[in-house]
Amino acid sequence: MSLKDSITKNNIPHHIAIIMDGNGRWAKQRGTQRIFGHRNGVKAVREAIEASAELGVKYLTLYAFSTENWNRPKIEVDALMSLLINTIKTETETLIKNNIALKTIGDTQSLPKAVQKKLHEVVEHSSKCTGLTVILALSYSSRWEITNAAKRLVQDFSDKKFAVEDINEDRFSSYLTTDGIPDPELMIRTSGEYRISNFMMWQLAYTELYFTATLWPDFDKEELYKAIVDYQKRERRYGKISEQL
Ligand code: IPE
Ligand code: IPE
Ligand code: MG
């Protein structure tokens, strides 16, 4: 029996965010190069996208490359960028055929020009798709995002677009790269690490966190179902007490 049958249909998270971690260790366990792990991670990305689309999830954010990941050896960074371009090239048609839109969050201008160009094409091309939206976090970190938001907010304030009293959570959120996207209800991190690694720190304020020891290349549809079933058992109180819900 698939765990899919245990999922309550009217309580599917609208937005799931995933820190896809453990590719390097997966490769190491097999005595291969780290990039082999990244390549196998693509299969897991496909599974997560397919399962999310089938369940009717509206947004799936995938942490693919962090601001800090630029500090990895150049050979790995280059290989990740090539993998990114090639994957987008081979998957675009399938995305569009399945009515899936692609968006990015992060400092995409710091990506190699060829990657930027390819991303821009797919984002444009898929912008009319109304099914699942896949959000790739690339050259992303929360501190970058929040600092960047603050800068732009201050600029608009200096341009007299609003008064100090008009600054509230909603206005601030609108300066984040996730503007218009609801906060995730569920955040999954693979590979047994219990940390956020500079990911969506504003957006995760009330998100349910799910950690699994499974390494990302081994993450399949059943793993996603398992996370959703776990999520559905939780009581989300938002500071209230049970009896008030
Ligand atoms: C996640 O896997 C992918 C990226 C960060 C790009 P890692 O490459 O971090 O794998 P581990 O954590 O070293 O096993
Ligand atoms: C977080 O994983 C970033 C991505 C999954 C893209 P890392 O492997 O880079 O995070 P740390 O270094 O373990 O915190
Ligand atoms: Mg890692």
* pLDDT per residue as tens digits for the range 135-162: 999 999 999 999 999 999 999 999 999 9
Three-class DSSP category at 4:
helix
For residue 234, pLDDT beyond 90 = yes
Task: Judge whether 168 lies within some domain.
Answer: no
Report pLDDT digits (tens) over 91-132. 999 999 999 999 999 999 999 999 999 999 999 999 999 999
Give Rg (Cα) of the chain.
19
Return the pLDDT at 141: 98
CA distance 79 to 39: 10
Task: Judge whether 3 lies within some domain.
Answer: no
Structural domain that includes position 31: 11-142+185-233
Report pLDDT digits (tens) over 45-62. 999 999 999 999 999 999
Report pLDDT digits (tens) over 216-227. 999 999 999 999
Q: Which residues line ligand 2 (CB under 6 A)?
A: 19-21, 63-66, 68-69, 193, 195, 197
Task: Judge whether 175 lies within some domain.
Answer: no
**CATH code, 49:** 3.40.1180.10
Task: Judge whether 193 lies within some domain.
Answer: yes
Give, for 60, the enclosing helix (H) or strand (E): strand 59-66
Indicate if ligand 1 lies below 6 Å from the C-beta of 214.
no
Task: Judge whether 244 lies within some domain.
Answer: no
Number of the ligand closest to the Cα of 197:
2
Nearest to 230 by CA among 187, 201, 193: 187
> How many angstroms is it from 22 CA to the middle of ligand 1?
5
Task: Judge whether 192 lies within some domain.
Answer: yes
Active-site annotation, residues:
21, 69
Confidence of residue 75 (pLDDT cuts 50, 70, 90): very high
Nearest to 57 by CA among 87, 92, 91, 100: 100
Q: How many domains does the chain have?
A: 1
Task: Judge whether 131 lies within some domain.
Answer: yes
Nearest to 68 by CA among 143, 15, 149, 11: 143
For residue 1, pLDDT beyond 90 = no
Sign of CA dihedral 78, 117, 140, 107: positive
| Average model confidence (pLDDT) across the chain | 98
Probe target for ligand 1 pocket from 40, 62, 72, 191, with the most ligand atoms within 8 Å of CB: 191
Task: Judge whether 194 lies within some domain.
Answer: yes
